[in-house]
Amino acid sequence: MKDRIKIVKKVRRVDKPPYIIDESRLKRFPRENMIFGRVKWEGYHQKHNKKISSLIIEGKPGYSRIDFALAYASWIVHDAFEDGFSRKRIKQFRTPTAMKKSDWTKTKCKIEDARKMSTYIKRAARLFGASLVGVCKLNRKWLYAKVKLPRKFENVIVMAVEMDANGIATSPTAIAAAATGVGYSKMAFVLACMGEFIRNLGYEAIQCGNDTALSIPLAIDAGLGELGRNGLLITPEYGPRVRLCKILTDLPLEPDKPIEFGVREFCRTCKLCAKYCEAKAISMDNEPSFNGVCKSNNPGALKWYVDAERCYLYWQKNGTDCSTCIKVCPYNISTSGKHKLSPEEFWKENL
């Protein structure tokens, strides 16, 4: 990739999130319309498994037995540790509730300064492994349709976990898929620890991955970044090379202001993600629009809509998922990793 563009970022805090909504059109998104909700998940895996066996025999670099072994290993914590995405206290040997008579977590910790509590929360999130963390008020239009939550859940802690730059640099191989899987597994860890931290303070925590509410608009509200042409959150620190998770809570917190650093203007002319997308799923239009392009889009927000059906069909053809629109984005900056790597380069001992 020779056409990598250098960017200059001036991040400023703004009073309103940097998105434009047509209130008459935007509805709460039905979760079943997500692309993965529209396919039979088991069928998806069966197709993948058949494809993987033939790819391994074919011997294509980045799709070997070792590469797929890595990709499937990366998801193990996410898949095995369901409690990471729990709404309740996780049963553990050390938990204060195990010592019923001396359960100091039963009362609410007195919080007089919501701003200070936000600082504690951010520090804790970083300790537990979040790369970025922000806080926003819960805008209920970002909840999936049919989700009902008591009004007391008014705050959201949004966390981003950086994905390995070297792994993503091999996209669309199974190695890049491993970088994604590790992101999800780390999310389970961060969420579990943060949920327990909040419950130990006597408050409630609903730990969410991609469920319950739309992560990207919440991350924008919480000041973590802006929306890119590729349909992903673009952060100033890592570009789109992050996974997102969030906790809905009644813990008193002070929200952060959103940020702006010129992503929409840059995306108007950059178009690298659209150029390199094998599925031609990303719009090449100069201007964003309010109209979706497939059933898995939610019309009513001004953006470049990504054709999730084309994207997903490419994943099936590829035998694994794809992160090329993350890899090629000029905002994908890393001090520790490369932007483009062959599988052979990735597996070098001293990379």
Binding site for ligand SF4 (CB under 6 A): 228-230, 266-267, 270-273, 277-279, 281-282, 306, 311, 314, 322, 324-325, 328-331
Nearest-approach distance from CB 207 to ligand SF4, in angstroms: 26
Nearer to ligand SF4, 65 or 271 (CB): 271
Bridge partners (DSSP) listed for residue 244: 160
Nearest-approach distance from CB 325 to ligand SF4, in angstroms: 3
Nearest-approach distance from CB 36 to ligand SF4, in angstroms: 13
Nearest-approach distance from CB 186 to ligand SF4, in angstroms: 20
Nearer to ligand SF4, 173 or 230 (CB): 230
Nearer to ligand SF4, 141 or 339 (CB): 339
Nearest-approach distance from CB 263 to ligand SF4, in angstroms: 7
Nearest-approach distance from CB 148 to ligand SF4, in angstroms: 32
Nearer to ligand SF4, 250 or 307 (CB): 307
Nearer to ligand SF4, 276 or 347 (CB): 276
Nearer to ligand SF4, 141 or 271 (CB): 271
Nearest-approach distance from CB 210 to ligand SF4, in angstroms: 15
Nearer to ligand SF4, 182 or 206 (CB): 182
For residue 136, CA distances in Å to 159, 236, 346 come to: 11, 18, 38
Q: How far apart are CA 180 and CA 190, in angstroms?
A: 15
Q: Which two tokens stand for residue 212?
A: 């319950």
